[in-house]
Each structure stands twice: as C-alpha cells, then as structure tokens.
Amino acid sequence: MLDVIEKAKGRSVTIQSPGTVANLVCGFDILGLALNDPCDVMTVKLIDRPEVIIHNVDDYNLPTDPQKNVAGVPLLDMIERLGNQVGFDVTIEKRIKPGSGLGSSAASAAGGVVAANHLLGNIFSQNDLVQMAMLGERLASGVKHADNIAPCITGGVTLIRSILPLDITGISSPPLYVTIVHPQIEVRTEDARQILRKQILLKDAIKQWGNIAGLVAGLMKGDYELIGRSLEDVLIEPVRSILIPAFAEVKAKSLEAGALGGGISGSGPSIFMLSKDEVTALAVESAMKEVYTQTGIAYYTYVTTINKEGVKIIG
Ligand code: ADP
C-alpha cells in the first residue's frame, strides 16, 4: 500500500462525472440511470498531508470546507481507510446545477472517489467506492441512497436491490432518448423526502411492484411498449409533483408528443421523459418548452441519451 501511495504522490487526474436520473418513476430509491449531458468536470491530485483541499471553479458558491462539500466527505473517509498517509487536492467545475434533481451531489461524491482510486491504481472495489460516495449523499439529503451514485459510477441503468448489504446490478436497456426540463427553482432533496407518506396501501404496493418488475423486464427485453406501460408511479409522484409547477401539463403534453413516459427526476424539480428515437425526444422538448414558457418560470432543457460509461477519465 505504501508503495502505491508513494508512486501516486503529486500525480493528478481529470474526470468527467455524469448527471443521473434517480427514482426512475416507479423505482423510488432503487432505480437510476446515467446521462450523457450534463456532466461535471473534476481534477484530483494526491498530496502529502492527510487532508482534502477543495477549489470550486464555477459560480455555485458551494462550500470549500471538505466536511460540508459532498466531494469532501467521501474522500476524508478514503483517507482514513488509507491510514491517513495521503490527501487530495480537488478542483470542481460544476456544470450540473446543485438541487436540480439531476444528481449534482452524486456527480461530485462519485467523481471524487473514482478519480482518487484511479490515482491509487484502483485499489478499492466498486462497492467500496459506492459506500464512500454515499456518505456525500447523506450530507446532501440526510439519507444514504445509491440510485444516483451507482449509475454515476458504472453508467447505464442500475438497480440497487439493497444498500444494507450493498447489492447493485446493471440492467441492460435498448436505445433510449431522455428529454429533461429543469425549471430554475430549487427543490431540496431533504424537503422532498419529508413530505412523503410513511405508510402505503397494499393495493398501491401491488401496482408499484408490478410496474417495477414490468420496467426492468421491458428494459432487458427491449420492449418499448412494456417500458411505457410500466412508467407509472402511484406512490411518490402524486405527493411530490405538487412541488413542481406545471408537472401535470408537462407530462400530458410529453405523452401526446410521443414520449414512452417519465416523471420527476430524483426529487425534482427536473422532469424527465424517455423516448424511442431522437425525433420524438425533440418533439417532447418542444412540448415541455411550450408549457414552461407559459408559466413564466425560467427553465433549461436537455435532450440526451443514456451514458453507458459512468465516470470517465479524460486527462
Ligand atoms: P441534486 O439532486 O442536484 O444532487 P441535492 O439536493 O441532492 O441535489 O444536493 C444538493 C445539495 O448539496 C445542495 O444543498 C448543495 O449546497 C449541497 N452540496 C454540497 N457540496 C456539493 C457539491 N460538491 N455538489 C453539489 N451539491 C453540493
């Protein structure tokens, strides 16, 4: 171990860390996917002292105190696991707006540990990295969850069957386009969690697990019709969508434009829709723009595809 650390000291790596859509409609807390756009960029350098130094090169004014930055806490945990013999200097260029529901916090938490692990010759397993990165999610939202972290690290669509013990598996998927509207308002994950009902009816649970199984089967079989029918959330969306202006109109118009289905991205305020092809995804974008222009709320849209690589080394 000492050898690995000695060799890596002073070296740096630059990575691209993807945005993610978590809480994939019926898959609250258990299904997520990685996006090709937007992505954060981070540079991590190994230093002698057992500390994390954070530089932000964007306009988001995020904390530079590593205990308060979601990139810092997982790296502090890694330093401890390494016996306090090394530290990290981290530069974050955030392109995924914090609080967007597009996995901004996961991109920093996962990006940091993947970059650091790369410098150390990949001594930690993927499960170790997810465990460390989840500490960042706990800082951001008060709860450890992996449905942004796992797809961010591995790419693709990911099922988190359990976080205790950690049990993550990739789900294959046919080509899918993702259209997103991000209203420029903030919905804090912590707040969006607090309004959830703690108890549910058995009949609703049955509907939900039918949809989850249908969605997973549809993705694996490349059955777009089954994917579309299964993109229904009877538990979370009815409660959370009240936090998102014009949610019902965006959804209705997107379905009219040909989307397979979709819902709240993460805990919002972004709304995402899946489509079979680019022409439909662009028509969905136009529909979303039309609805949001009428609300008078500033917004941003993305038309992208599923990122299959996860965090990527770019330099
Ligand atoms: P998102 O779904 O976009 O990740 P969250 O509400 O889960 O949104 O996380 C954003 C919160 O985490 C904000 O309160 C933000 O200030 C805090 N935060 C701390 N460090 C970071 C970071 N490096 N990147 C993103 N958010 C961070």
The 8-class DSSP code of residue 303 comes to E
Looking at the 3D structure of the chain, how many domains does it have?
2
Pocket test for ligand 1, best of 15, 88, 105 (most atoms within 8 A of CB): 105
107 and 132 belong to one structural domain: yes
What pLDDT digit, counting tens, does each position of 72-127 carry? 999 999 999 999 999 999 999 999 999 999 999 999 999 999 999 999 999 999 99
Type and span of the H or E element at 79: helix 72-81
Q: At 145, is the secondary structure helix, strand, or coil?
A: coil
Domain of 96: which CATH number? 3.30.230.10
Q: Check which CATH number belongs to the domain holding 279 and give it.
A: 3.30.70.890
Nearest-angstrom CA–CA distance, 304 and 107: 17
Which domain range does residue 279 map to?
Answer: 177-305
Give pTM, 2 decimals. 0.96
Regarding whether 275 and 251 lie in a shared domain, the answer is yes
Spatial contact of 272 and 265, defined as CB atoms under 8 Å apart: yes
Which of the listed residues 41, 43, 65, 104 should we mutate to test ligand 1's pocket, taking the one with most ligand atoms within 8 A of CB? 104
Q: Are residues 185 and 147 in the same domain?
A: no
C-beta 71 within 6 A of ligand 1: yes
Query: CA torsion angle for 116, 121, 127, 133 (degrees, to 10)?
Result: 0
Along the 315 residues of the chain, how does pLDDT read in single tens digits? Answer: 667 777 777 899 999 999 999 999 999 999 999 999 999 999 999 999 999 999 999 999 999 999 999 999 999 999 999 999 999 999 999 999 999 999 999 999 999 999 999 999 999 999 999 999 999 999 998 888 999 999 999 999 999 999 999 999 999 999 999 999 999 998 877 788 889 989 999 999 999 999 999 999 999 999 999 999 999 999 999 999 999 999 999 999 999 999 999 999 999 999 999 999 999 999 999 999 999 999 999 999 999 999 999 999 999
